[in-house]
Amino acid sequence: MLDFLMGLSEEDATFLSRIAIGFVVCLGAVIGSFLNVCIYRIPLGQSVSRPRSHCFSCGKTIPWYHNIPVLTWFILRGKCSNCRAPISFRYPVIEALTAILFLLVFQMWGNPALLGLNPLSIPELIPIFWLFVASTVVNVMIDIDHRILLDRISIGGTLLIFAVSAAFPILHGATGWFSGLLAAFGGALFGFALGFAIAFLGERIFLQDAFGFGDVKWMMLFGALFGWVGLLWIMLLASFLGLVMGSGVLIYNRLKGLSDERAVAIPFGPALGLSALLWLFWGQALLTAFISLRSWVLMHEQGVLFCFVPLLCLMSAWLIFRIRMIRKYNREWMASEAEEGKPSAQVVHESEEEGGTSHV
C-alpha cells in the first residue's frame, strides 16, 4: 500500500512522518470533541448531529471559533463565553485523550512503515483500531455516568469485526478469509461464554448483578478482536484494575461521606475498557515483562515468598471485606425495596392508566 514511500530519502520520510503525526493528533482531538457530544447525548436518546453544540446553561450555540478542541477550554478558562457558566474539565481531557490514543494507533500500525522501520506494519488496520479506541472511550464514560454499556458498540462492533476479519484476516494472523472469520467468531463465542459464567457466579456472590450483561456483550467484542488468549489477559488485567480502581473510589467516597448506591456499586466497564486499551498497545510488552518476572521469581524464590504471601493475604482480606460490604448493602437494599417497592409500583401503574397526568 505504501510502495511509493520506498524511494524516499530518510529526511523526506521523517518530514512526512511529522506531518502525518500532526494530522493524526488534530484528527484525534476533533473526533474527541465529537465523542464528548456522543457521551452526553446518546444516553439521553438525543441526536448527535442536531442541534449544534450549545451551552448547557444559557443555551447559546457555540460558534465554530470557540469549538476548537482542547485549546478553546484553556482560552476561555473553562467558562462559557456568553454567560460565564463553568464548562467541565472533562471535555478537554477527553479530547486530549482521544488525540493520544489516535496517535498511539498510528505509531503502532502506520508510522513505522512510513519511516521504513517496519515492513510488517499494516496501515489498513488503522481505521479499525481508531474506531475501537473511540468506541471504548464512549463506553467507559457512559458507564461511569449512567451504568450503561451501549449495545450499538458491543453488538454492532462485533458484527463489524466479523466483516473486517474476513476482509483482513491478518488481524488474527490468518491468511484466508474463512480462517480470519473463524478466529473472530471463536473469540466472540469464548468471550460471551466466559462473561456469562462470570455474571452467573457474580450474581451468586454479590446477590445482585455486579457484573452486568452489558459487560458480557462487551467481552464478546474483545474476544472477536483479540482472540481468546487476548481476552483472558484482558480479564486478568481488568480484575486487578477493577480491584485497585474500585478500592480507590470506595475510599474516596468514604472520605467524602457518600454512602448511597453510586458510592458502593462501582461499574466494571472502566476497568474492562482500560485493560483492553492496555492490551492493544502494550500486550507484547506485558507478555515480555511477565516472562522476565517469572524467571526473576524463580531466581529469588524465598525473598519473593517473604514479600508476596503477606501481600496476597492483605489483598484477599480486602476482597472479602468488599464482598461482605456489597452483600450487606444489597440485602438492605432488597429489604427496603420489598417494603416500599410494591405499593409505589401500584400507584405508578394506576397513574399510567389514568393517562399519566398525576405526579407520583
Q: Which amino acid is at 138?
A: V
Question: Contact 28/103 with Cβ under 8 angstroms?
Answer: yes
Q: Which amino acid is at 171?
A: L
* 55, 114, 210, 241: residue in contact with Zn ion (rule CB under 5 A): 55
CA separation (Å) from 105 to 28, 168, 271, 285, 327?
Answer: 11, 17, 20, 15, 41
Helix, strand, coil distribution of the chain in percent, nearest 5:
75, 0, 20
CA pair distance 278, 286, nearest whole angstrom: 9
Q: Which is nearer to Zn ion, 58 or 289 (CB)?
A: 58
DSSP string, 324-358: HHHHHHHHHHHHHHHHHHHHHHHHHHHHHHTTS-S
Binding marks (x or -) toward Zn ion, 78..107, rule CB under 5 A?
A: --x-xx-x----------------------
Binding marks (x or -) toward Zn ion, 2..41, rule CB under 5 A?
A: ----------------------------------------
Q: Which is nearer to Zn ion, 33 or 158 (CB)?
A: 33
Q: Which is nearer to Zn ion, 84 or 328 (CB)?
A: 84
Q: Which is nearer to Zn ion, 91 or 233 (CB)?
A: 91
Q: Which is nearer to Zn ion, 60 or 349 (CB)?
A: 60
* Piece of the chain touching Zn ion by CB under 5 A; list 55-63, 158-166, 249-257, 284-292: 55-63
197 counts as binding Zn ion under rule CB under 5 A: no
Q: Which three cell numbers stand for residue 84?
A: 460565564
Taking the complex as a whole, the smallest distance from the CB of residue 83 to Zn ion amounts, in Å, to: 3
Question: Contact 221/161 with Cβ under 8 angstroms?
Answer: yes
Taking the complex as a whole, the smallest distance from the CB of residue 80 to Zn ion amounts, in Å, to: 3
For the CA atoms of 269, 157, 216, 100, the dihedral, rounded to the nearest 10 degrees, stands at -20
Q: Which three cell numbers stand for residue 52?
A: 449544534
163 counts as binding Zn ion under rule CB under 5 A: no
* 1, 2, 48, 58: residue in contact with Zn ion (rule CB under 5 A): 58
Taking the complex as a whole, the smallest distance from the CB of residue 60 to Zn ion amounts, in Å, to: 5
351 counts as binding Zn ion under rule CB under 5 A: no
76 counts as binding Zn ion under rule CB under 5 A: no
Q: Which is nearer to Zn ion, 41 or 146 (CB)?
A: 41
Residue 33, Cβ neighbours under 10 Å: how many? 21
* Piece of the chain touching Zn ion by CB under 5 A; list 49-57, 265-273, 280-288, 309-317: 49-57
57 counts as binding Zn ion under rule CB under 5 A: yes
Long-range contacts of 185-188 (CB under 8 A, 24+ apart): 185/224, 186/227, 186/228, 187/222, 187/223, 187/224, 187/225, 187/226, 187/227, 187/228, 187/230, 187/231, 188/158, 188/161, 188/162, 188/220, 188/221, 188/223, 188/224
Taking the complex as a whole, the smallest distance from the CB of residue 74 to Zn ion amounts, in Å, to: 17
Q: How many chain residues touch Zn ion (CB under 5 A)?
A: 7
* Piece of the chain touching Zn ion by CB under 5 A; list 32-40, 48-56, 221-229, 242-250: 48-56
Distance of CA 90 to the CA centre of its chain: 15
Residue ranges that bind Zn ion, judged by CB under 5 A = 55, 57-58, 80, 82-83, 85
